[in-house]
Amino acid sequence: MWRAIDLPLLLVSLALSGFGVLAVYVAGTDAREAYATNQAIGFVVGFMGAIPLAIVDYRLWRRFLRPIYGLAIVMLLAVTLMGATANGATSWLDVGPIRVQPSEFAKPLMVVVLAGFFAEKAAYEHGVFLKALGVMTIPGLLVLVQPDLGTATVFGAVFLVMAYVAGARLIQLGGLILAGVVSMVLGVKLGILEEYQVARLTSFMDQSSAGDLGYQVAQSKMAIGSGGITGKGFDATTLANLGFLPEDHTDFIFSNLAERFGFVGSMALILLFFVLIWRILHVATISRDRFGVLIAVGIGTMFLFHVLVNVGMTMGIMPVTGIPLPFISYGRSSLVVSVMSLGLLQSIAMRSRSEASKTPKV
């Protein structure tokens, strides 16, 4: 079965993870050596977790959808009740000496739950669609109250795409999008959304009036532009080193990479992400059951949404939501989850190819 592994998917995950350790190391923070070491440790932990996920038949998880859903809810409730606060959000849990971000783990868990739900029922039926929406809304709200608006939007994007692939009608999806827009407008009018959350959502439309966020985006665009074609180099003095580029090892890490390695380095990174999404979609196409297709689509949507929003916000064309760049932004929870998610995809790929090879040819 191991001969049926998706080698390009494995290689691109290794390349992106290595790129991430390098990106954290060249960040402007004084603790870059420690951050790079933690990033490397996160990859090792994620890889060790990906191996059993690849070995275990992914279809086994359909038997445990309720416990998986319960685990996601319990983790998010634990954050709400006893979480640690950083940068204005209560999104972390201190487990001994280790700090984890449960919302990162909840994303692939909810992908599996939704995949199992839609694999058995027709999404175009209104009752099924609304029930699935309710299943996804509860963890989404628990993330939103942390408050982590960026991760909540990831839940929304994953639900929309998975529901569409599962057969939901366009009028259902359009109604959901309209309801989301109306809810956001009401949240602003009624003061439910904090002022800084509104600024994050609207900063890309009018950066001149966005205050600190507008300044951050302006510095990010300046860093990207100053990189030119080939960049300033590995050890060059950059805006990050000078303290002008904010969060250069997390939210705006793409800007720092673009300044150091230029257009060539940026396109190399984007090409790696293109290969990643391509191979995930390939796994979806070769899956021999609906459950595997939906898992691959959900995880692919999760990665694609992260990349589009993170890179877009560094260029000033997307809201500044704090969504990390997969494999690249500093954060052990995000990296562990990303690598382990690819282990689950390998389980789908290996079994699909192995079973296909045993099917008699007519």
Residue 362 lies inside a defined structural domain of this protein:
no
pLDDT of amino acid 171: 93
Asked if residues 151 and 143 have their Cβ atoms less than 8 Å apart, the reply is: yes
pLDDT of amino acid 273: 96
How many domains is the chain partitioned into structurally?
A: 1
Q: pLDDT digits over 299-339, tens only?
A: 999 999 999 999 998 888 888 887 899 999 988 899 999 99
Sole residue written with tokens 């919302």: 103
The token duo for 64 is 């445990």
Residue 358 lies inside a defined structural domain of this protein:
no
Polymer length in residues for the chain: 362
Residue 79 lies inside a defined structural domain of this protein:
yes
Asked if residues 84 and 92 have their Cβ atoms less than 8 Å apart, the reply is: yes
Single out the residue of 108, 116, 119 nearest to residue 72, CA to CA: 108
3-state class of 228 per DSSP? coil
Residue 144 lies inside a defined structural domain of this protein:
yes
Residue 275 lies inside a defined structural domain of this protein:
yes
Single out the residue of 242, 235, 254, 247 nearest to residue 23, CA to CA: 254
Residue 232 lies inside a defined structural domain of this protein:
yes
Prior bond to 102 cis, omega within 30? Answer: no
The sign of the torsion formed by the CA atoms of 10, 326, 45, 73 equals: negative
Single out the residue of 305, 321, 86 nearest to residue 203, CA to CA: 321
pLDDT of amino acid 246: 79
Residue 208 lies inside a defined structural domain of this protein:
yes
Residue 360 lies inside a defined structural domain of this protein:
no
Domain that holds residue 123: 2-353
Side by side, which strands form the sheet with 98-100? 84-86, 89-95, 98-100
Asked if residues 35 and 29 have their Cβ atoms less than 8 Å apart, the reply is: yes
Question: What are the average pLDDT values for consecutive 10-residue runs of the chain, which has 362 residues?
Answer: 85 94 81 86 94 94 94 92 76 81 93 94 87 92 85 93 93 91 76 63 60 76 89 78 79 89 93 96 93 96 95 86 89 92 95 76 52
Q: pLDDT digits over 56-97, tens only?
A: 999 999 999 999 999 999 999 998 888 777 766 778 888 777
